[in-house]
Amino acid sequence: MKNFNVKPLGVVISGLLMAATTQSVLAQDADKKAIEEADEVIITGFRASIANSIEMKRNADTIVQAISAEDIGGLPDKSIAESLSRLPGITVTRSSGQAGTIQVRGMGEGYVFSTLNGREQVSPNGSRAMEFSQFPSELINSVEVYMSPKASLIEGGIAGTVELKTINPLKMKDDQSIQIGVRGNYNDKADELYEVEPYGKRFSLSFSKKLLDNTLGVSLGYAKLLQPNAASQIENDNYSRPALTVDGKDVYAPESFFVKQKGGEDDRDGYMATVDFEPNEHLAIEADAFYSKFKSQSDERGIRVQGFRNMNVYNTTYFDDIYMTGGTFVGRKNSQTIDFKVENNDTTTDYDIFSGGFNAKWSEDKWNIAADLSHSEASGLFRNSLSRSFLYKKGPVDSAHPDGWYRDDDQQAAFALNGINIPKFSLNRDYTNTATLRMGQYEEYPYINEDKIDAARIDGKYELDTPVIVSIEAGVRVAKRNHKQSRNVFVYGDGAGGRITTDYSLPITDANSDVVNWKGDFSNMPSFLAIDSRSIIEQAYKNNLVLMSRTKYTGPNTPEIANPDAFDANGNPKPRSIVAGARWGEGRSWSMTEQADIQEDVNSFYIQANINTTLWDRDLTGNIGFRRIDTEQSNMAFVNVNGDTSKGAVEICDDVGDCRSDLALTRIGVEYSNNLPSLNLNYHLAENDQLRLALARVLSRAPINRLANFNQGSIDANNPNGPTYNYGSNSSPTLKPFLADQIDISYEHYMPDTNGSFSIAAYHREIKSFIQDASIENFDFAANGFPIPETFPVVEGGLVVDKPVRNGTYTFSTNNAEGGYIRGLEISYTQTFNWLPGLFKGLGVSGSISKVDSKITTVSTLDPNNPDSNLPFSGLVEDSGNITIFYSYENFETRLSTTHQGSFVGEALNIARAPVIYAAETVMDFQASYKFDNGINMIFSVSNLTDEPNRSYSLSEELPRRLNWFGRTFSLGANYKF
């Protein structure tokens, strides 16, 4: 066992010691340089990056935030997401302790549009949100975030547009650049967890060169990241299920309580290639390609307790006198529904992204013409394999228990929530004994996404000799996007919808399990078994214990019948495949209906006039333009036509041979057009002062996966009021974009002598429409043309009885035209104190604060009928800020960065799509480096210096949802440039 515990203060001290130990080297250099005269001061490293970013922002023709490196490999972060988190108005959502998706100006990831080298990108995660963590910072040269649009910019981002750019080798200062980076990582949480490797690595290599008298440029890059995926986690699932009666009072209990360890590894490979050819001053040709492969494997293991509604409850505590925050839960005598279990979940994420394009530009006199062809594609496989193991005891063999194993009813649990801090949790039984713990369920759920887009655009610009309009730009763009998604499933055990009665519990042995004891702050949590679940199910298959269902699927909302294919010619039961697949039966028809083939065709054109004039003896620049978008979107959907072949009914079979003939495959969609005017003005108040104004109409399309048509009906035969028909989903191919009118105004003051700037910006977005989930209870389906059965057979008193089907809930998504507003204020300040004496002149600071407000709200699933319980708009971070204190002296640099974001509403990834609130968090990172004269730059850094957890809750911090402690990551390595 390794002992590696570096406290945050010790890290800062180590950085200062690093500075001290370099003083002898610095002093020798200083004596030599003191007698030399220099005509200019050359800044490098982090200060150079800040200076470049300020210059990009100052010269932009819209309101932007920027990140720039001196050259390829110059950004210090592991991914672009971490770099973006330090820009004003931008916050991030952490996943596995790393920055992942972003929010811009109070709006979530779904409203942020992203491009690479000016081209639209697809995502492997089934949405439109770019996985910024998949873009290595070593391969990105600069980032611009457009807070206000212009007509020539591709539409799609109400919140903003993030433009990533790779290097143009012909724009390098040097004729050749080769850079090598090597770093080792250590995560201090990993040693507390079961079988988690604490060490990781980063490696990067890039080559850029100018050839043929600087007319040909070539750049190649590769970046490797291998890092631990480690966390201690608490889950307290949502309170949205029906109420529980305790002591005569209706209260809400959590769906489950889960304490677990998460361990695994993230593996990312990124590749980049660019070729630029400029044979003369008129022609420029560029071809570029980017590829990233990201694979994450993690095991989530721990103890989950649920099923509280079927237990005796004592010693309860509450929030708001109705939401349970603790209690003692005791199993009822002879109960077979006790749901205390050891869970072992294996999650694998496999993402691939490719982007490539060809661009040609021609300039002649007053004309500039550009043509661009591009292709972007992504594939994503998310596979969740999980097992549930329960305590059993031996009992008499009967028809319901032919193996003689019964769920043990002598179990009790007690927990007491502690807000968003570590709770108390205890059990009365041992969950590490293989003699009594058996695997009762095994399930696999693969999600497959494929997304691609092909686009072509032509842009032209003509320069004018007029006093106000100096040039006119116009262009057209054609894009075709196709998104496909599918679901597969395999279930063993009594989780198979009750359809398979031969799935018995399976033995666990010492050979396929290990005892896991908690450490650190979690050392009082109960021990459990880490189980090799897949090997157990494979052995069961070899032993002919995984058998076919003895009932057969006959159609939706009808009972299954005896399956004649379940036995061979000798009457022996047949085995069923343990490979996950889509199937109509076993209560898993969603694996067939939740398939999508979405087509989105977008044609657009724009015209833009560029302004350069004077007003009151001051320069006024900017642009005014108009962009027209025509969109056609559709999805190939299953439509119930009751078997009418004249309406397209065909036989549709699943992966196990069950078929339906009542459905037709029909493409359903909508066509619409949008007009987007825009105005950007930049008034130069003085040489270093600018006042900007921007007006625009903007849009964000619905997440690509929500354009599917998953509407489906089902009968809830277990409803205590009788069989109930429910229908609907939260997706539709007729969803139109989120629209808004926005106004931005900003004042910018630049301090070129000190590489500083100050800016204050205010904005207001008037939302015209947005997508909202809705539901209607007790909906009269028959009166609205829905084909539902009048009766449904249920078991009552041991007899099958036909009961009338009740009307249930109709769920749907729609474009809410009521709208609302989002408005905010941003202040940013950057300053290098180069006027200070001696060693202090290398000190600098860069920071920003942001405030956001909105009247748009999200309905709380805890109290949907009470408007006072509504939550803020999803992704809205009302308060955020960041500050970086940096220092450089000769070849030494260090910086301490802090980012803070207030609480905000996100969307939980569960069946109920219940919103959660992410707690406020403050994350600190530290870095120190020393650059030797031979080109080697030594770097030491710490991410998440204070071990800040990522936490979420419902309504109040007293009702935690997910609590994650990721630990700190220490990194030591070197870059070499020659």
Quick check: 48 pLDDT over 70? Answer: yes
Report, as an integer, the average pLDDT of 580-592.
84
**How high is the mean pLDDT of the chain?**
84
H-type helices in 202-294, by residue range? none
Report pLDDT for 557.
57
518 beta partners: none
Would you say residue 20 has pLDDT above 50?
A: no
- In one letter, which amino acid is 417? L
Contact 920, 950 (CB under 8 A): no
How far CA 292 is from CA of 165, 221, 272, 481, in Å, comes to 15, 12, 9, 20
Range scoring the smallest mean pLDDT among 397-411, 470-484, 557-571, 676-690: 557-571
C-alpha to C-alpha distance for 418 and 951, rounded to whole angstroms: 13
Residue 945 confidence (pLDDT):
92
82, 87, 88, 91: CA torsion to nearest 10: -20
Q: How many CA atoms, within 13 angstroms, populate the side-chain half-sphere of residue 640?
A: 15
Query: CA triplet 180, 183, 188: central angle to 5 degrees?
Result: 170
Residue 32: in which H helix or E strand, if any? helix 23-33
Two tokens, residue 737: 């974009």
- Name which residue leads in pLDDT, 469 or 642: 469
Report the pLDDT averaged over residues 630-634. 95
Reply yes or no on whether the pLDDT at 343 is more than 90: yes
More confident residue, 888 or 105: 888
- pLDDT on residue 67: 82
Give pLDDT, residue 594.
Answer: 85
If one counts every other C-beta atom within 10 angstroms of the C-beta of residue 317, the result is 12
Higher pLDDT, 774 or 128: 128
Sheet strand arrangement including 323-330: 312-319, 323-330, 412-418, 421-427
What confidence score (pLDDT) does residue 816 get? 63
pLDDT at 361 over 60: yes
Distance, CA of 793 to CA of 48 (rounded, Å): 74
> Which SS3 state, helix, strand or coil, does residue 721 take?
coil
Under 8 Å between Cβ of 226 and 205: no
771 neighbors 813 (Cβ within 8 angstroms): yes
Contact, 651 vs 663, CB < 8 A?
Answer: no
* Residues of the chain above pLDDT 70, percent: 86
Beta bridge partners of 205: 180, 222
Report which of residues 561 and 247 the model is more confident about: 247
Q: Using alpha carbons only, how large is the chain's radius of gyration in Å?
A: 31
Give the bridge partners for 480, in sequence order: 454, 601
Q: How many angstroms separate the Cα of 647 from the Cα of each of 282, 659, 795, 815?
A: 59, 18, 36, 29
Q: Up-side HSE of residue 935: CA atoms within 13 Å toward CB?
A: 8
pLDDT, residue 142, reads 84
Query: Would you state the pLDDT for residue 23?
Result: 39
Q: Are 230 and 196 in contact (CB under 8 A)?
A: yes
So what's the pLDDT on residue 774?
67
pTM of this prediction?
0.85
Helix/strand/coil (H/E/C) assignment for every residue in 48-109: HHHHHHHHHHHHCCCCEEEEECCCCCCCCCCEHHHHHCCCCCEEEEEECCEEEEEEECCECH
CA angle 242/247/250 to nearest 5° reads 25
Higher local confidence (pLDDT), 538 or 8: 538
Asked if pLDDT for residue 27 goes beyond 60, the answer is no
300-304, 637-641, 649-653: the lowest-pLDDT one: 637-641
At 180 the three-state DSSP class reads strand
Q: How far is 477 from 630, CA to CA, in rounded Å?
A: 11
Indicate whether 366 pLDDT > 90.
Answer: yes
Residue with the larger pLDDT of the pair 770 and 665: 665
C-alpha distance from residue 301 to each of 101, 347, 514, 770, 948 (Å): 26, 11, 11, 39, 22
Could you please report the per-residue DSSP string of 582-610? --SSTT-THHHHT-EEEEEEEEEEEEEEE
> What is the structure's pLDDT at 456?
97
Per-residue tokens: 497:
């919808």
> At residue 43, does pLDDT exceed 80?
no
Other beta carbons within 10 angstroms of residue 402's beta carbon come to 11
**Three-state secondary-structure class, residue 490:** strand
Distances (CA, A) of 956 to 82, 327, 869, 917: 28, 19, 11, 8
**Reported confidence tier of residue 34, pLDDT bands at 50, 70, 90:** very low
Q: How far apart are CA 435 and CA 507, in angstroms?
A: 8
pLDDT-based confidence at 713, cuts 50/70/90?
Answer: low
Amino acid at 582: A
Three-class SS of residue 808?
A: strand
Within 10 Å of residue 377's Cβ, how many Cβ atoms? 18
pLDDT digits (tens, 9 = 90+) for 855-904: 777 665 555 566 666 666 777 788 888 899 999 998 899 999 898 988 88
Distance CA 509, CA 459 (A): 67
Where residue 913 falls among pLDDT bands split at 50, 70, 90? Answer: very low
Alpha carbon distances (Å) from 410 to 308, 310, 311: 15, 14, 11
